[in-house]
């Protein structure tokens, strides 16, 4: 079997869903399980209505909800035609009634908890998976809806829950496997799951890629296909450099680093389940299905170029923690990391000196409280509006002088932190957010003009 995941833009309207159906039909013999995201922008809209309700703005929350309902009804109507839509309408209608009630409840209390946030944001995938299943049947695919909340079991860390693999795999084998065996195409929503007690959870923004990998690993897929709106993993975000080129093949390690440091074409956790079962992952374009995309595998072929790609992650804050001289010894770092842990703030890049430690984190609301906590240990400063730029390539391991070439190019740029990642395949540094795109464009021009045709398209 294989897993085919369609992202938000790949199910954004009736045309996109029809394209997805054609792609799935072409793979019928491979026994696909289809994982879908919410329709494009829907998760953002659900979160916006949840926040409005949480602020007590019931009117606005319900208005946004009605707009969402109209979009889903229109898409379903277009795909199903009048007769089928009439049956389907009441099912969708119940979901919107529930969502409506939920928003009224949140507005009445005037408080939005992580648990209710998940309950609201899960509707995107609940709705899209229902519409895609019905549309696939209408288009001649023998599809079957699977409620992901009945098979992706997670812990209770709302909005970024972690899957419990043993339980999940067992449920996947029980619910999805029999459908495959009876020749059906199971369709399920990505991003969502539930705790053992049945409380709805989500696994983090962009998490449908991760869901696809969990399903693929759980069912022993031959491959996992991530269908999106670009030709594959590119040398950098094509929105930043229009001359970004497609990477034909890349290693799991390289892809994971790129995803972690901002290449949002793949959720950073996607690669892990695939690596554990050695399942190749393909990134493909649903608007250009004949294109071969990017193949992500355990060992990529040798490449003539220093780097495979550049990623950039904006909205970064640097936290500087300075201890009195000689105190940076035993226990001090532990104290710092424990504080980050208590506030559930993840650290991306770290650099230390005898007297201070600098760490980068994604800018977020917990930073002031974290800084107050750290101030008990040492002097603390933090500064936002930074960006991490990350160059990735396995050749970094063996080739001397690469860092000199990179920083030679950027001699006029203020560089705040540098780290040649512990994995030895990334060169990462921090710049002012305003300078980041220019830095990426300059490096892209220098290092990605003359490319190895074996690796790049």
- The contact set with ligand ADP (CB under 6 A) reads 7-10, 37, 206, 228-230, 233-234, 236-239, 263-265, 309
Say whether 266 sits in a helix, a strand or coil: coil
- C-beta closer to ligand ADP: residue 135 or 319: 135
When the beta carbons of 37 and 143 are compared against ligand ASP, the nearer one is: 37
- Please work out the total of residues on this chain that contact ligand ASP, with binding judged by CB under 6 A: 12
Q: Does 117 bind ligand ASP (CB under 6 A)?
A: no
Tokens standing for residue 41: 């922008």
Q: Write the DSSP symbol of residue 378.
A: S
The two most distant CA atoms of the chain are separated, in Å, by 77
43 near ligand ASP, rule: CB under 6 A:
yes
Please report whether residue 10 would count as binding ligand ASP according to CB under 6 A. Answer: no
**Minimum distance from CB of 303 to ligand ADP (Å)?**
16
Question: Looking at beta carbons only, is 248 or 267 nearer to ligand ASP?
Answer: 267
The dihedral built from the CA positions of residue 130, 136, 142 and 148, taken in this order, carries a sign that is negative
Is residue 168 a contact point for ligand ASP (CB under 6 A)? no
Q: How far is the CB of 75 from ligand ASP (least distance, A)?
A: 16
> Shortest distance, CB of residue 205 to ligand ADP, whole angstroms?
9
Angle between helices 123-138 and 42-54 (to 10 degrees): 140
Give Cα separations from 222 to 18, 168, 315, 455 (angstroms).
Answer: 25, 19, 37, 22
Compute the distance between CA of residue 319 and CA of residue 382 in angstroms, rounded to an integer: 4
Residue 263 contacts residue 205 (beta carbons within 8 Å): no
Instruction: Name the minimum Å distance from CB 264 to Mg ion.
Output: 6
The answer to whether 247 and 294 are in contact (CB under 8 A) is yes
Which residue from 10, 37, 236, 428 is in contact with ligand ASP, where contact means CB under 6 A?
A: 37
Which window, 36-44, 47-55, 83-91, 229-237, contacts ligand ASP (CB under 6 A)?
Answer: 36-44
From the CB of 205, what's the least distance to Mg ion, in Å?
A: 8
Select 124 or 262, whichever has its Cβ closest to ligand ASP: 124
Instruction: Give the residue with the Cβ less far from ligand ASP, 38 or 336.
Output: 38
At its nearest, how many Å lie between Mg ion and the CB of residue 7?
5
Question: Which residue in the shown chain puts its C-beta closest to Mg ion?
Answer: 206
Which of Mg ion, ligand ADP, ligand ASP, none is residue 230 near (CB under 5 to 8 Å by kind)?
A: ligand ADP
Q: Name which of ligand ASP, ligand ADP, Mg ion, none residue 127 binds, using a CB cut-off of 5 to 8 Å depending on partner kind.
A: none
Specify the DSSP class assigned to residue 161.
P
Angle at 223 between CA 220 and CA 227, to 5 degrees: 130
Applying CB under 6 A, does 62 fall inside the site for ligand ASP? Answer: no
Could you give the angle at which helices 123-138 and 14-25 cross, rounded to 10 degrees? 60
By CB under 6 A, residue 8 contacts ligand ASP:
yes
Exposed, middle or buried by CB within 10 Å (0-12, 13-18, 19+), for 286? buried
The correct pick among 54, 186, 193, 207 for binding ligand ASP (CB under 6 A) is 207
319: tokens are: 């936290």
Query: What sign results for the dihedral spanned by CA atoms 250, 256, 258, 263?
Result: positive
DSSP for residue 163: B
- Whole-Å CA distances, 54 to 107, 116, 119, 159, 411: 5, 10, 13, 16, 48
Binding ligand ASP by CB under 6 A: which of 6, 123, 191, 340?
Answer: 191
Question: Which does residue 56 bind out of Mg ion, ligand ADP, ligand ASP, none, counting CB within 5 to 8 angstroms by kind?
Answer: none
239 binds, among ligand ADP, Mg ion, ligand ASP, none (CB under 5 to 8 A by kind): ligand ADP
Q: Please list, in sequence order, all residues whose beta carbon lies within 8 angstroms of the beta carbon of residue 3, skipping any fewer than 6 positions away.
A: 32, 33, 34, 35, 212, 213, 215, 216, 219, 221, 223, 224, 225
Q: 173, 205, 385, 441: which one contacts ligand ASP (CB under 6 A)? A: 205
Nearest approach in angstroms of CB 44 to Mg ion is 12
Asked if 270 touches ligand ASP (CB under 6 A), the answer is no
DSSP for residue 379: E
- What totals of helices (H) and strands (E) does the chain contain, helices first? 13, 16
Q: Which does 79 bind (CB under 5 to 8 A by kind): ligand ASP, Mg ion, ligand ADP, none?
A: none
In the complex, least distance from residue 434 CB atom to ligand ASP, rounded to whole angstroms: 26
Cβ partners under 8 Å of residue 175, min gap 6: 146, 150, 151
Residue 190 site contact among Mg ion, ligand ASP, ligand ADP, none (CB < 5 to 8 Å, cut-off depends on kind): ligand ASP
Contact residues: ligand ASP, CB under 6 A: 7-8, 37-38, 43, 124, 190-191, 205-208
């Amino acid at each position: 079997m294989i897993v085919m995941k369609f992202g938000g833009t790949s199910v954004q309207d009736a045309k996109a869903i029809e394209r997805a159906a054609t792609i799935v039909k072409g793979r019928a013999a491979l026994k696909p399980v289809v994982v879908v995201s919410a329709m494009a922008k829907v998760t953002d809209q659900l979160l916006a209505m949840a926040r409005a309700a949480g602020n007590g703005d019931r009117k606005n929350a319900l208005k946004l909800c009605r707009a969402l309902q109209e979009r889903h009804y229109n898409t379903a109507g277009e795909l199903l035609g009048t007769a089928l839509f009439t049956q389907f309408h009441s099912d969708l209608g119940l979901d919107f009634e529930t969502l409506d009630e939920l928003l009224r409840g949140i507005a009445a209390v005037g408080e939005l908890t992580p648990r209710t946030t998940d309950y609201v944001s899960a509707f995107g995938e609940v709705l899209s998976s229902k519409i895609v299943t019905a549309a696939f049947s209408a288009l001649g695919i023998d599809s079957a809806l699977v409620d992901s909340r009945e098979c992706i079991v997670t812990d209770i860390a709302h909005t970024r829950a972690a899957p419990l693999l043993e339980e999940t795999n067992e449920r996947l084998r029980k619910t999805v496997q029999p459908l495959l065996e009876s020749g059906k195409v199971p369709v399920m929503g990505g991003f969502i799951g539930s705790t053992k007690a049945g409380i709805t959870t989500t696994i983090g923004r962009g998490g449908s890629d991760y869901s696809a990998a969990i399903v693929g690993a759980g069912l022993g897929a031959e491959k996992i296909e991530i269908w999106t709106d670009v030709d594959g993993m590119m040398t950098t975000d094509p929105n930043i450099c229009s001359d970004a080129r497609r990477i034909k093949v890349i290693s799991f390690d390289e892809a994971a680093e790129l995803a972690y440091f901002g290449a949002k074409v793949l959720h950073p956790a996607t690669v892990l389940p695939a690596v554990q079962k050695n399942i190749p992952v393909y990134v493909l374009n649903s608007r250009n299905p004949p294109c071969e995309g990017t193949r992500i595998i355990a060992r990529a072929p040798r490449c003539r170029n220093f780097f495979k790609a550049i990623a950039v992650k904006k909205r970064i804050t640097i936290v500087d923690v300075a201890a009195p001289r000689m105190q940076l010894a035993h226990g001090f770092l532990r104290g710092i990391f424990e504080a980050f842990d208590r506030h559930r703030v993840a650290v991306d890049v770290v650099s230390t000196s005898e007297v201070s430690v600098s760490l980068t984190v994604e800018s977020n609301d917990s930073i002031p409280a974290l800084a107050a906590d750290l101030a008990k240990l040492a002097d603390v400063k933090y500064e936002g509006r930074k960006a991490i730029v990350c160059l990735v390539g396995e050749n970094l391991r063996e080739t001397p002088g690469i860092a000199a070439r990179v920083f030679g190019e950027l001699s006029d740029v203020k560089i705040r932190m540098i780290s040649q990642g512990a994995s030895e395949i990334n060169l990462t540094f921090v710049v002012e957010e305003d300078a980041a795109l220019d830095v990426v464009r300059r490096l892209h021009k220098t290092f990605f003009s003359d490319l190895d045709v074996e690796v790049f398209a």
